[in-house]
Homo-oligomer: A and B are copies of this chain.
Amino acid sequence: MATKLIECVPNFSEGRRPEVVDAVAAAVSRVPGVILLDRSSDADHNRTVLTLVGSPEGLREAILNLYEEVAKHVDLTQQSGEHPRMGAVDVVPFIPVRNATMADCIALSEEIGAAVAERFHLPVFLYAESAKRPERKLLSAIRKGEFEGLSAKMQDSAWTPDFGPGQPHPKLGASAFGARPFLIAYNIQLGTADITIANAISKAVRASSGGLMNVQAMGVFLTDRNVAQVSMNLLNYEKTPLYRVQELVKAEAARFGVPVTGSEVIGLVPQAALLDAAAYYLQIENWSPALVLENTIMEKASDAELVSR
C-alpha cells in the first residue's frame, strides 16, 4: 500500500509573537513523516496559518503537539485581532493530496478532532465535508459570535459539539475540524484595462450569480500593469475543472472582443488539475493518470515510503 499523503492547514490565533510561532512550527515539524510546507503569520489578523503535509499518523501527532504548544502561549481572553476566531486553534482542515480520498480526510478529521477534544477538554465541531448537520457546512456559521459569544451560543442544543464538553474551554475556546478539497487561487488577465469588463465576466462565471459551481470570482484592476483581471478561487477542481473555467472566461470575454492574455496561479496547484487540462486540450482518448511515467513508478514502488525521514 502506498502511503496516504494528506495536507493539513491549521489556523491558530497568534501572529504577533515570532517566538511563539517558531515554537509551534517546531512542535509540528519535529514529527517524522510530516513536512511543514509553508507558514504565514499576519500581525493585524493576529493569526498564523501552517501548511503541513504528511501521513495520517504523522498528522495526528503533529496536531496534538500543536495544541500542546498553543495551549502554553495563547489565552483567548487576552487575545484580539482583525480575523474572526472562536479558538486558540481556530480551524483544522484536511485535504487529500496523494493516495488519499475525501473519505480518508473525513475519517482523519473525526479521529484527530476526537483525540484533541478528549486530551484538551475543548469542544470540536465538524465542518465542511465532515459536517454531520447541513448548518455546520460553513465555518462562518459555526464561528458566528466568536470566542466571546461561544458560551451563550452553546447553551442552545443546536450547538452541541461533535466531540468534547458542552462548554467552551476557558482559554482555548473551541475548534472546527473538517475535510475539504484543495483550493486553487487562479487569476486570468484580460487584454483590456476596463475593470467593468472584468466585473461582468466575473459575474458570468461565478456560482453566486448563476455561473459555474465551486467558482468565486471578482474583477481586479492591476495598477502596475494597467490590466483588468478576473480573480478567482476554484473550490473544487475535480468537479469544476480548471480548463472549463478558462474556456468559459474566454467565451464571456469574446462578447467584448477582449482576449485572454495570460493567467497566474497563486500559491500551489495540484498536479491532477494540470494533467486534466492537458488531457482536455490534447484530446487524449485513452487518458488515465496511469499513462504518466512518474505515477507508474510510484505505483510499482508500492512499498516505498514516500515521505519518511
Interface set of A (CB-CB < 8 Å, partner B): 5, 7, 35-37, 53, 97-98, 182, 189, 242-243, 246, 260-265, 268-271, 274-275, 277-279, 281-287, 291-297, 300-301, 303-309
Contact: B97 with A297, CB < 8 Å? yes
For the complex formed, measure the closest distance between the CB of A272 and the CB atoms of chain B, giving whole angstroms.
9
A297 and B53 contact, Cβ closer than 8 Å, known pairs A275-B275, A291-B265: yes
Give the docked Cα–Cα distance between A274 and B262 (Å): 19
Which listed residue, B268, B275, B300, B305, touches A305 by the CB 8 Å rule? B305
For the complex formed, measure the closest distance between the CB of A201 and the CB atoms of chain B, giving whole angstroms.
15
Residues of B within 8 A of A284 (CB): 262-265
Give the docked Cα–Cα distance between A294 and B308 (Å): 15
Nearest CB to that of A308 among chain B residues?
B304
For the complex formed, measure the closest distance between the CB of A111 and the CB atoms of chain B, giving whole angstroms.
22
**Stoichiometry (number of copies):** 2
Contact: B286 with A264, CB < 8 Å? yes
Q: Which of A275, A281, A282, A286 has the most CB of B within 10 A?
A: A282
Q: List 26 A-B contacts (CB under 8 A).
A: A5-B297, A35-B297, A35-B300, A36-B300, A37-B297, A37-B300, A53-B297, A97-B297, A98-B294, A243-B282, A260-B283, A262-B283, A262-B285, A263-B282, A265-B291, A268-B296, A269-B292, A270-B292, A270-B293, A271-B271, A271-B275, A274-B292, A277-B282, A301-B307, A303-B309, A304-B307
Give the docked Cα–Cα distance between A275 and B301 (Å): 22
Residues of B within 8 A of A293 (CB): 7, 97, 182, 268-271
Which listed residue, B269, B281, B301, touches A35 by the CB 8 Å rule? B301
Given A264-B285, A301-B309, A304-B308; 16 other pairs, CB 8 A cutoff: A5-B297, A37-B297, A37-B300, A53-B297, A97-B297, A243-B281, A260-B283, A265-B284, A265-B291, A270-B293, A274-B279, A274-B282, A277-B282, A304-B307, A304-B309, A306-B306
Residues of B within 8 A of A265 (CB): 284, 286-287, 291
Which listed residue, B292, B304, B308, touches A268 by the CB 8 Å rule? B292
Give the docked Cα–Cα distance between A278 and B242 (Å): 10
Residues of B within 8 A of A285 (CB): 189, 262-264
Give the docked Cα–Cα distance between A284 and B292 (Å): 21
For the complex formed, measure the closest distance between the CB of A75 and the CB atoms of chain B, giving whole angstroms.
32
Give the docked Cα–Cα distance between A109 and B53 (Å): 36
Give the docked Cα–Cα distance between A182 and B301 (Å): 20
For the complex formed, measure the closest distance between the CB of A295 and the CB atoms of chain B, giving whole angstroms.
8
Q: Which of A35, A303, A309 has the most CB of B within 10 A?
A: A35
Residues of B within 8 A of A287 (CB): 265
Give the docked Cα–Cα distance between A293 and B303 (Å): 22
